[in-house]
A and B are shown apart, each in its own frame.
Chain A
Amino acid sequence: MADLSVNICGIDLKNPVIPASGVFGYGREYEEFYPLSELGGIATKGTTLNKRTGNLSPRIAETPGGMLNSVGLQNPGIDHFIETELPYLLKKDTVIIANIAGSTPEECAAVAEKLDSTDVHMIELNISCPNVKQGGAAFGTDCTTASEVTRHVRRSTKKPLIVKLSPNVTSITEIAKAVEAAGADALSLINTLLGMRIDIDTMRPVLRNNVGGLSGPAVFPVAVRMVWQTANAVNIPVIGMGGITTGRDAVEMMMAGAAAVQVGAAVFEDPYAPVRIAAEMNEFLDSRNISSVRDIIGAVKPW
C-alpha cells in the first residue's frame, strides 16, 4: 500500500482525489454509495452571495467523449451553505473546499469573508464566470481582472485560497502568474472549455443557453498540457482536473505537475469514480514500487 497522502497549503489530504465542483453537489447524494471519508476532499458546488436560479433547461448535452453543461451557477446562496450544508460536510472527516463565485470582485470577496469565520478548510475561487462590471467577459480571461478579483478575495480571508483558472485563454501561464502575484495560495485547472452543439433537425442549439462548458475525457490532453505549463510557471501548488476517468489518468496529471486531482464528469458514468481512481493510483504505485504518490508530482521527463 503506497502512501497516497498529499499536503496542499498546509492542509493534509488522505489521498489526492477530490470530486470537482458542480458534479457532486454538497456530497449528500453520493453518501448513498460510499462514506465521504474515503475521499481526499470535496469541492462543493459553486456558491454565490445570494441564491441563483441558473439557466433554463436543457442544461446538458452529450458530446463525443464528454459533455456540455450550462447549469449556470444555480445555488442556494452562501448563508444557506454555511448554515445547512457546511456543518454536515465538516462532520465527514474529509477536506472541504468551498467553491465560490460572483459577478463582481466585491461579491466574491463578500462570500469569502463569510466563509472566513467558518471551519471550512479551503476556498476555491472560480474566476470563469462573467464579470458584470467589465461587460460580462469572464474574470479569468484577462490578467488584470483575474488579479483584481484574486486580490479582493485574498484581503477578505486567511483561509488557503485556491484560484480556479479558465482554459478559455490565449496564455494560461500569464494568467497563472498574475493570480499567483495577487496572493493565491494554489491554483486549480481546468474549468470547462466553451463549446456548442446544434440539433440539425430542429436547427436549435441543444442547450437552451446556446453554449456551455465542455468537460470529460475529450478535454484530458488539453488539461494535461495546461497543468504542465502552469506548474512550470508558478511556485504554488497546482490541482489538476479535466477529463480524469482512471487512476492512470490521475497519475499522468500528477506527473504533469499536479499536487492533487479533481474528478468531474467521470462521476456520472461511475459514481464510485473518485474512490476507484484512488485505488487504481495505489495499484499503479505499488506495481512500480513507488512508496509515495508525492514522488510522482511533476515527475515527467520532458524531451
Chain B
Amino acid sequence: MKYTQGKFIITKKSAVGQNIYSYTISCPEVSSIAVPGQFVHIRAEGHTLRRPISICGIDPGRTIRIVFEIRGEGTAAIARLNEGDLIDMIAPLGKGFTVNDDFKKVILVGGGIGTPPMLSLAEVYGSRAAVICGFRSCNAAILQEDLKKTGAQLILCTDDGSAGVHGFVTDPLAELLEKETPDAVYACGPMPMLRSVAELCGKNVFCEISLEERMACGIGACLGCACRIDRNGEEHFAHVCKDGPVFNAREVIR
C-alpha cells in the first residue's frame, strides 16, 4: 500500500442530491495509483478524527472524485469546502476491488450512499457490467446519469416504488444470477444488503463487498477498525482500513 498525506485543490464541487456533494480533486500522484474500492481519509476542520470516503472516480494522472453525504458534523465541515479550497487527505488507502480484464460479465450492486464506489468500477467494465442500484425513493437516487454514460446496463430499484423496480436490489440480482453466472459480483451498501448479496452469491459466484467501520488512523496502525474474518477456517480480526475495505464476501463473519 502506497499513500501520502497532503492538501489538494478541489477543482469542481456540485450537489448531486439532497445533502450529497461531489468533489473533483486535483491529485496527479494519488490518481495515478488509486484503484476502484480504495478510499481517502479526509481531515474535518475542528475534529480529532478524519472521515473515510470512497473514491468514486479516477482520472489517472489528474483527478479523483468523491461523493459523500452529510451525516454529522464532520461531513458537514468537509461540505463547507468550496471550489479552489484545499482538502487535506491521506490517500489512496485500503485494498480495492479485484479488477480483471478477462471478466466478461460482472454485476455491481450499490445501496444508497454505497453507490459511489460502484461508479469507478462501472467506468472500468463499461458494457460488461450490469449495475443494480437501490435507494429509498426516486429523489434519493444519485449518479444515474454518470452510470449510464459508462455503457453499463442499469437497473434502478426504490424501496417505495417511486422509480424503477419496486423493491430491494436483491430481487433483480437473483434474476440476473439465475440467467447466467457472472465472473464477479461487487457490492457496497448497508450491512443487511451486503449480507443478502453474499448469501445469493453463495459459494459459486466470486463476490466482493466493501465494508464500513469507524476509523482513527486509516492506515492499519491503531487497530481501531477491526472486523471478524474467516480465513481458512480460522477466525481472526482483520482491519477494514488496511486489509479492506473490500473483502471476499465468503470471508466476512457477521
**Distance, CA A297 to CA B5, complexed state (A):** 33
Which of A50-58, A130-138, A223-231, A280-288 is found at the contact surface with chain B?
A50-58
Residues of A within 8 A of B126 (CB): none
Q: Does B124 contact A (CB under 8 A)?
A: no
For B73, give the chain A residue with the smallest CB separation. A62
Binary contact readout A244-286 vs B (1 if CB under 8 angstroms, 0 otherwise): 0000000000000000000001011111100000000000000
**CB <8 Å contact, B216 and A67:** yes
- Tell whether A67 pairs with B90 under 8 Å between CB atoms, given A32-B2, A54-B223: no
Q: Which residues of A contact B151 (CB under 8 A)?
A: none
Decide if A205 is an interface residue (CB 8 Å cutoff): no
Instruction: Please tell me if the beta carbons of A62 and B219 are within 8 angstroms of each other in the complex.
Output: no
- On chain A, the number of residues with a Cβ less than 8 Å from chain B's Cβ atoms is 36
Within 8 A of B (CB), among A37-69: 45, 53-63, 65-67, 69
Q: Say whether A74 contacts B227, CB under 8 Å.
A: no
Docked complex: A188-237 residues within 8 A CB-CB of B? 216-217
State in angstroms the CA–CA spacing of A268 and B90 once bound together: 10
Please tell me if the beta carbons of B225 and A59 are within 8 angstroms of each other in the complex.
yes
- Which residues of the partner chain A approach B4 to less than 8 Å between Cβ atoms? 32-33
Is B104 an interface residue when CB atoms closer than 8 A count as contact?
no
Considering the complex, give the chain A residue whose CB is closest to the CB of B227: A57
Q: What's the least CB distance linking B65 to chain A, in Å?
A: 24
- State whether the Cβ of A71 lies closer than 8 Å to any Cβ in chain B: yes
- Given known pairs A25-B222, A45-B223, A57-B225, the reply for A271 and B90 (CB within 8 Å) is yes
- For B50, the chain A residues whose CB sits under 8 A away are 268-269
Residue B99 at the A interface, CB < 8 A? no
Question: B236 contacts A53, CB within 8 Å?
Answer: yes
Partner of B223, one of A71, A216, A270: A71
* In the complex, per-residue mask of A21-40: 1 if CB is within 8 Å of any chain B CB, else 0: 01111001110110000000
Contacts of A60 on B, CB cut-off 8 Å? 49, 214-216, 224-225
B220 within 8 A of A: yes
Pairwise interchain contact A267-B217, C-beta atoms closer than 8 A: yes
| B206-245 CB contacts (< 8 Å) to partner A | 213-228, 236-237, 242
Residues on A with C-beta less than 8 A from B95 are none
* Interface positions of B from 1 to 38, Cβ below 8 Å from A: 1-5
Q: Quick one: closest B residue to A217, CB to CB?
A: B48
Nearest residue in A to B236 (C-beta to C-beta)?
Answer: A53
Which residue of chain B is the closest to A52 with respect to CB atoms?
B237
C-alpha spacing A164/B43, complex, angstroms: 30
Contact residues in A for B242 (Cβ distance below 8 Å): 29
Contact B222 A65 (CB under 8 A): no
| Interchain CA distance A67-B223 in the complex, whole Å | 14
> Shortest CB–CB separation between residue B8 and chain A, in angstroms?
16
CA distance A61 to B215 in the complex (A): 9
Residue of B nearest to A25 (CB): B221
Q: State whether A53 touches B237 (Cβ < 8 A).
A: yes
Residues of B contacting A: mostly: loop
The smallest beta-carbon distance between A231 and chain B, in angstroms, is 27
Question: Which residues of the other chain, B, contact A55 by a CB distance below 8 angstroms?
Answer: 226
CB closest chain-A residue, reference B218: A268
- Evaluate contact between B219 and A29: CB separation under 8 angstroms: yes
Identify the interface centre among B5, B48, B236: most chain A CB within 10 Å of its CB.
B48
- Once A57-B213, A59-B225, A60-B225 are accepted as A-B contacts, the answer to whether A268 and B220 lie under 8 Å apart by CB is no
Does B74 have its Cβ within 8 Å of any Cβ on chain A? yes
In the complex the two chains form, what is the Cα distance from A29 to B218 in whole Å? 10
In the complex, the answer to whether B48 meets A216 with C-beta atoms within 8 Å is yes
- The answer for the CA separation of A53 and B226 in the assembled complex, in Å, is 9
Task: Compute how far the CA of A115 lies from the CA of B63 in the bound complex, rounded to whole angstroms.
Answer: 48
Q: How far is the CA of A28 from the CA of B217 in the complex (A)?
A: 13
Chain A positions within 8 Å of B71 at CB level: none
Interchain CB contact under 8 A, B225 and A269 = no
Residues of B within 8 A of A29 (CB): 217, 219-221, 242
Q: Which of B38-74 contact A (CB under 8 A)?
A: 43, 47-50, 74
Question: Chain B's nearest CB lies how many Å from the CB of A196?
Answer: 15
Can you report 18 A-B residue pairs in the complex whose CB atoms are below 8 A from each other? A22-B223, A23-B217, A25-B221, A29-B220, A32-B1, A32-B3, A32-B4, A57-B227, A58-B213, A59-B225, A62-B47, A62-B49, A71-B223, A74-B226, A74-B237, A269-B48, A269-B50, A270-B5
Task: Report the 10 A-B pairs with minimum CB-CB distance, sorted nearest first.
Answer: A25-B221, A29-B221, A60-B224, A60-B214, A29-B219, A58-B214, A268-B216, A216-B48, A74-B223, A71-B223
Q: Given A54-B237, A66-B48, 8 more contacts at CB 8 Å?
A: A32-B2, A32-B3, A56-B226, A57-B213, A57-B225, A268-B48, A268-B50, A268-B218
Q: Which A positions have Cβ atoms within 8 angstroms of B?
A: 22-25, 28-30, 32-33, 45, 53-63, 65-67, 69, 71, 74, 216-217, 265, 267-272
